[in-house]
Amino acid sequence: MASGRIFNFSAGPSMLPVEILEQAQADIINWDGTGMSVMEMSHRSKPFESIHKKCIQDLRDLLNIPPNFKVLLMQGGGSTQFACVPLNLLKDKETANYLTTGAWSTKAIEEARKYCRAHEVATSKSTNFTTIPDPSTWNVDPNGAYFHYCANETIHGVEFTLTQEMLDRIGEVPIVADMSSNFLSKPIDFSKHAVVYAGAQKNAGPAGVTFVIAREDMLGHAKNITPTMLDWKIQADNDSMYNTPPCYAIYICGLYFDYMKRHGGIEAVQELDRQKAAILYDLFDSSNGFYTNPVNPQYRSKMNVPFLIKGGNVDLEKKFLAEAEAVGLSTLAGHRSVGGLRASIYNGMPLEGVRRLADFMTEFKTKHEAE
């Protein structure tokens, strides 16, 4: 680890590999002999065009995105896509299906209610969002314009992929996924999805870019009231340059994609994420209840790992946070809406960081177990 760096377990923006930061540092004043920083370039210039093109191509390569899907680089984060999805996909329909599995899918359905009758297919609210509702209870409206779900609930630490049983429940309705917090952590099955979207600031780069990967037949249906900037077809027709894009953020995402390609691609990322998550969940499960994770083990997130100390001892949590911060293990508080603790272990978190956290947790337990 570079000197003075900490291990930052933030839920996003999050750590970036030092190699990327060093590359950005080397390029900052004069990118590739152009005599200017990427921050200073016209977005219509040849050098930026090459950065933009390579960024999208590398993302396509990493995720093996089929040719009939468009990759859009948008702004406004996942939150703006909560509005884009109904605006672009409702067509003449009045209903859309939403699965509610935590705070973010709740926000998505709330936003959709501004535009349509958002039909809640099922919710795990009664479990405090610690599981995925049993697919046999999913009540999908086959006339709904689409089915929306959140693949990884960042606050509640619940993650899942669509099973055959779930697909059977959804039927022919186009599937839309919010992958904001597990994008680029594993392959995506595009044969099951019509649209996938994700902000960059967890696994793909800095805040400011939102990736929308949309099947071509999902474009061109935006309602008349759709703001021009939020119309996916207009973005696609203009190569995501209808207006000035977040050039510097796109450049850093491009460095990240290039880095991932050089480090074994998405399979290597997935394996590393599996190892990192296993270290923490194994530690909880062998801690005799000192550390607990409330999530149904089947749906434990590999990205966001919430946990409690002694079932929610607030004094011990405070001590934990202070002692962790003092040894360079930072931003481990749970989201303010749920409390407790949370370690977000996105792609930029090295294995060494998770090992250090696990060692710290073992020591902390020994020290405070008797309290």
Q: Which of 8, 9, 12, 184 binds ligand PMP (CB under 6 A)?
A: 12
**Which residue number is nearest to ligand PMP in terms of Cβ?**
77
- Judged by beta carbon, residue 9 or residue 48, the one nearer ligand PMP is 9
Nearest distance, CB of residue 32 and ligand PMP, angstroms: 30
Q: What is the DSSP letter of 183?
A: T
- Judged by beta carbon, residue 150 or residue 222, the one nearer ligand PMP is 150
Note the maximum CA span of the chain.
Answer: 65
State the Cα–Cα distance between residues 158 and 148, nearest whole angstrom. 16
User: Rule CB under 6 A: is residue 150 a binding residue for ligand PMP?
Assistant: yes
User: Rule CB under 6 A: is residue 246 a binding residue for ligand PMP?
Assistant: no
Peptide bond into 206 cis (omega under 30): no
User: Rule CB under 6 A: is residue 181 a binding residue for ligand PMP?
Assistant: yes
Q: What b/e readout covers 20-42, taking b as 16+ CB neighbours within 10 angstroms?
A: bbebbeeeeeebeeeeebbeebe
Residues 35-94 that bind ligand PMP (CB under 6 A): 77-79
What positions carry a catalytic annotation?
Answer: 104, 178, 202
- Judged by beta carbon, residue 41 or residue 85, the one nearer ligand PMP is 85
DSSP sequence for 280-326: HHHHHHTTTTSEE--S-GGGB-SSEEEEEETTT-HHHHHHHHHHHHH
- Judged by beta carbon, residue 77 or residue 294, the one nearer ligand PMP is 77
Q: What is the DSSP letter of 38?
A: G
Nearest distance, CB of residue 207 and ligand PMP, angstroms: 7
User: Rule CB under 6 A: is residue 178 a binding residue for ligand PMP?
Assistant: yes
Contact (Cβ atoms closer than 8 angstroms) between residue 38 and residue 248: yes
Region binding ligand PMP by CB under 6 A among candidate stretches 17-25, 44-52, 176-184, 283-291? 176-184
DSSP sequence for 185-230: SS---TTS-SEEEEESTTTTSSTT-EEEEEEGGGSS---TTS-GGG
If we measure between CA atoms, which residue out of 320, 2, 306, 361 comes closest to residue 181?
A: 306
- Judged by beta carbon, residue 41 or residue 88, the one nearer ligand PMP is 88
- Judged by beta carbon, residue 150 or residue 184, the one nearer ligand PMP is 150
Size of the site for ligand PMP (CB under 6 A): 11
Region binding ligand PMP by CB under 6 A among candidate stretches 47-55, 65-73, 136-144, 173-181? 173-181
User: Rule CB under 6 A: is residue 211 a binding residue for ligand PMP?
Assistant: no
Number of C-beta neighbours around residue 309 at 10 A: 23
Q: Which of 88, 154, 226, 293 binds ligand PMP (CB under 6 A)?
A: 154
User: Rule CB under 6 A: is residue 104 a binding residue for ligand PMP?
Assistant: yes
Interface with ligand PMP by CB under 6 A: which residues?
A: 12, 77-79, 104, 150, 154, 178, 180-181, 199
